């Protein structure tokens, strides 16, 4: 049996998503809670691994249960109702995590046939929050908002963000990983200033390379500060190398907000397509 879990967390005190020996991670905390309930060695597969300090409000993972673990699913009043037992699991996990945890499971459900939390996803959406000199500093928001001393030109930042949309090689905006492709389709990238003065980025792509969102944000901040021109973000991308004027911003402002999936009938096909590595020839296709 495969389950889907909908998860959110404050990443401040986690060393990222992925389990690491001796370190507190989101995956590690959740798998330990699941093991207490279900027994065995539960392993989560996640839609997108987040770095240390990055938050999530719309993370998705899947979990495969063997027969023994299925037998230990918590039951509600309608004894024997498999879907009801699966839905009750989220509540049991929340109980194990205790009051005011920094990670929670909002919903647990039976995954449709062909569902893979990582490979079936068609896009991921992130948001990023910045408090500049115009917005000011709010202590209650410090764990999810990055501070920038300058007063940023949000219109210039938005214009630069729009230039980057499309299918491209984003190597200049990624942390290099051996044999990993950096070709991505950036579907949306825009900036606005909220009613409270906070600058908010909306970034959506089919997938993201390591540190890609924070690097894209850093490039637009450089534009907002006047250190780069709007079209410089394209030059950086096309030259395939980073510049000292464009920095990777802090993790605290970044939230994985949403993961998109196709209709149930297309889940397996999407997973197979995603597993096919893209190369430079795909950009001109």
Catalytic machinery residues: 51
Check whether 126 is labelled as a binding-site residue.
yes
User: Residues near 73 by Cβ (< 8 Å), separated by ≥ 6?
Assistant: 38, 65, 82, 85, 86, 88, 89
The span from the CA of 180 to the CA of 173, in Å, is 14
Task: Output the six-digit token pair for 209.
Answer: 């390379």
The span from the CA of 14 to the CA of 146, in Å, is 17
Secondary structure (DSSP) of 127-149: EEEEE-TTT---GGGTTS-EE-S
Note whether 85 and 75 are within 8 A (CB): yes
* Through-space distance between the first and last CA atoms of the chain, rounded to whole angstroms: 39
DSSP 112: P
Return binding residues for substrate: 126
Return binding residues: 126
């Amino acid at each position: 049996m495969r389950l889907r879990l909908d998860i959110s967390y404050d990443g401040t005190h986690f060393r990222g998503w992925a389990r690491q020996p001796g370190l507190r991670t989101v995956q590690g905390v959740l798998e330990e809670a699941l093991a207490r309930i279900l027994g065995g060695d539960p392993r989560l597969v996640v839609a997108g691994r987040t770095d240390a300090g990055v938050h999530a409000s719309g993370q998705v993972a899947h979990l495969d249960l063997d027969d023994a673990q299925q037998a230990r699913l918590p039951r509600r009043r309608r004894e024997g109702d498999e879907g009801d037992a699966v839905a009750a699991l989220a509540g049991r996990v929340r109980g194990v995590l205790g009051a005011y945890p920094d990670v929670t499971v909002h919903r647990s459900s039976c995954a449709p046939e062909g569902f893979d939390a990582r490979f079936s996803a068609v896009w991921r959406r992130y948001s990023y929050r910045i408090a500049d000199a115009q917005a000011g500093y709010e202590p209650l928001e410090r764990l999810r908002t990055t501070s920038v001393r300058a007063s940023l030109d949000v219109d210039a930042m938005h214009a630069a963000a729009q230039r980057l949309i499309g299918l491209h090689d984003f190597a200049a905006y990624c942390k290099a990983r051996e044999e990993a492709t950096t070709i991505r389709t950036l579907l949306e990238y825009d900036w606005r200033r909220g009613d409270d003065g906070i600058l908010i980025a909306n970034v959506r792509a089919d997938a993201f390379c390591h540190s890609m969102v924070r690097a894209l944000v850093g490039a637009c901040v450089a534009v907002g500060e006047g250190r780069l021109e709007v079209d410089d973000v394209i030059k950086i991308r096309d030259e395939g190398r980073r510049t000292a004027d464009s920095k990777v911003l802090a993790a605290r402002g970044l939230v994985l907000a949403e993961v998109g999936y196709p209709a149930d009938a297309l889940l397996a096909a999407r997973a197979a397509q995603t597993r096919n590595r893209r190369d430079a020839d795909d950009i001109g296709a």
